[in-house]
Amino acid sequence: MKQFSLLVAALAVLLVVVACSPTGGQEPTAAEPTQSNEGQGEMKTLYVGPELVECVGVGPMQCMQVKEDPNGEYQNFFNAIEGFTFEPGYTYELRVNVETIANPPADGSSLRYTLVEVVSQTPVDAGEAGEANPLLGVRWVLESYVNADGETVTALADGEVTAEFGADGQMGGSGGCNRYFASYTIDGGNLTIGQAGSTMMACEPVEVMEQEAHFLTALGAAAAWQIEGDTLTISDADGAPVITFQASETASLTGGTWSATNYNNGKEAVVSLVADSTITATFTEDGQLNGSAGCNNFMTSYTLDGQNITIQPAATTRKMCPGEGVMEQETLFLTALTTAATWSISGNELELRTADGALVAHFVRQAAQ
């Protein structure tokens, strides 16, 4: 009897425990996994060109050149790729994950690119060496081009058009008014030139601007190249010549004195020099730059990397000069020099420009004494 009573009590306690259980006596079930889109996206293969180019997004910037079709043309890429470090001088094949951002910032992209794998990183072969690629190391001057009507037109005497090819797979020069730049590849006698970018100046006469537009269009049609003597001929996919260049000596900053004609005053204006004032600049082969800033002599250093230039802040003598605006002009000119990022020479004219293409200063080479 006592054992029966203990059994009944045990059963009662068990029933109370079960009744108080939050599952009501049923086996608990595992929580359903929370669905999340984080980390999900579309896998893509991107092909990245060997150099950054100047471009304009929210503001002036440098863009990678990217394409999804290996046989297509490079396009400006305004995004970053998380986890990818770009090094110029290489072409890349990348595997990336592309996610859509639900609430992107007003000035940002709606896509996020994340590196998954660097499939390949290949040094640019614009010729194994300068000797193997006769395009290199030569300043090519436009002789003729084919216009939109298919007519061969002789280049204008005004507004010299030039082209220079680099071992890094980049080429560029003067379009006669604006500076232009593009990527290129050669494979034997085949030549491909990517879509060109350029500065955005307007020049006179209007014929110079028309020639520039026709030239850049013809440049984009390049499919083959051939050099005979000092003449470079670029042909289209049908084998028809579209551009001819004549080789000339590579322009040099050194070997003479440059006289400024106008400069950027830092107030979004390019101005002429104060009347009866003279500003000069002499570049030496050892990287020194000196001259007259209109009153005081100045001296500084510069470095070149192809068509890129960096000019350090200048030291000057400490004279005070009469004449309205002369001292202010000197200060503004020397400040403008430090903003120079590129240089170009057309004939006897030198232009220094900022990284976004704004004119820093314009010079003409002084005649030899």
Output the six-digit token pair for 319: 């004279």
- Least Cα distance to 261 among 249, 252, 271, 253 occurs for 271
The reply to whether 112 and 135 lie within a common domain is no
Amino acid at residue number 251: A
Q: Is residue 312 part of a domain?
A: yes
Q: Is residue 214 part of a domain?
A: yes
Output the six-digit token pair for 89: 């001088």
What's 187's domain CATH number? 2.40.128.270
Q: pLDDT value at position 227?
A: 93
CA 148 to chain centre: 28
Rounded to an integer, what distance in angstroms lies between the CA atom of residue 147 and that of residue 216?
Answer: 10
Question: What is the total count of domains within the chain?
Answer: 3
The reply to whether 209 and 139 lie within a common domain is yes
Q: pLDDT value at position 52?
A: 78
Q: Is residue 12 part of a domain?
A: no
**At a CB cut-off of 8 Å and minimum separation 6, what does 339 contact?**
264, 354, 360
Q: Is residue 221 part of a domain?
A: yes
Q: pLDDT value at position 144?
A: 96
The reply to whether 233 and 175 lie within a common domain is yes
The reply to whether 307 and 355 lie within a common domain is yes
Sign of CA dihedral 279, 282, 288, 291: negative
- Least Cα distance to 124 among 115, 133, 116 occurs for 133
Kindly give the confidence (pLDDT) of every residue in the chain, 369 residues in length, as a single tens digit, with 9 standing for 90 and above: 444 454 445 444 444 444 444 444 444 343 343 333 444 789 999 999 887 776 666 566 778 889 998 877 788 888 889 999 888 778 899 999 999 888 877 667 788 999 999 999 887 654 433 345 788 878 899 999 999 999 999 999 877 899 988 777 888 888 988 888 889 998 888 999 999 988 888 888 899 999 999 999 999 999 999 999 899 999 999 999 999 999 986 668 888 899 999 999 988 788 999 999 999 999 998 899 999 999 999 999 999 887 789 999 999 999 999 889 999 999 999 999 999 998 887 767 888 988 877 889 999 888 755
The reply to whether 194 and 114 lie within a common domain is no
The reply to whether 240 and 141 lie within a common domain is yes
The reply to whether 134 and 220 lie within a common domain is yes
What is the pTM (predicted TM-score) of this model? 0.46
CB 143, CB 126: distance < 8 Å: no
Rounded to an integer, what distance in angstroms lies between the CA atom of residue 90 and that of residue 124?
Answer: 5
CA 80 to chain centre: 15
Which of 63, 95, 123 terminates a domain? The answer is 123
Which of 69, 90, 123 terminates a domain? The answer is 123
CB 183, CB 165: distance < 8 Å: no
Q: pLDDT value at position 106?
A: 64
Q: pLDDT value at position 267?
A: 82
Angle 298-282-250 (CA atoms, 0-180°, nearest 5)? 150
The reply to whether 283 and 348 lie within a common domain is yes
Q: pLDDT value at position 30?
A: 37
The reply to whether 201 and 278 lie within a common domain is no
Q: Is residue 199 part of a domain?
A: yes
The reply to whether 92 and 139 lie within a common domain is no
Which of 197, 225, 248 terminates a domain? The answer is 248
Q: Is residue 10 part of a domain?
A: no
The reply to whether 162 and 75 lie within a common domain is no
Q: What is the 3-state secondary structure (H, E, C) of the chain?
A: CHHHHHHHHHHHHHHHHHHHCCCCCCCCCCCCCCCCCCCCCEEEEEEECCCCEEEECCCEEEEEEEECCCCCCCEEECCCEECCCCCCCEEEEEEEEEEECCCCCCCCCCEEEEEEEEEEEEECCCCCCHHHCCCECCEEEEEEEECCCCCEEECCCCCCCEEEECCCCEEEEECCCCEEEEEEEEECCEEEECCCEECCCCCCCHHHHHHHHHHHHHHHCCCEEEEECCEEEEECCCCCEEEEEEEECCCCCECCEEEEEEEECCCCCEEECCCCCCCEEEECCCCEEEEECCCCEEEEEEEEECCEEEECCCEECCCCCCCCCHHHHHHHHHHHHCCCCEEEEECCEEEEECCCCCEEEEEEECCCC
- Least Cα distance to 199 among 221, 174, 219 occurs for 174
Q: In the beta sheet, which residues pair with residue 145?
A: 153, 243
Beta-sheet pairing, 162-165 with 170-174? antiparallel
What is the residue range of 135's domain? Answer: 130-248
Q: pLDDT value at position 146?
A: 95
Q: Is residue 307 part of a domain?
A: yes
Rounded to an integer, what distance in angstroms lies between the CA atom of residue 154 and that of residue 5?
Answer: 119
Q: Is residue 26 part of a domain?
A: no
The reply to whether 98 and 165 lie within a common domain is no
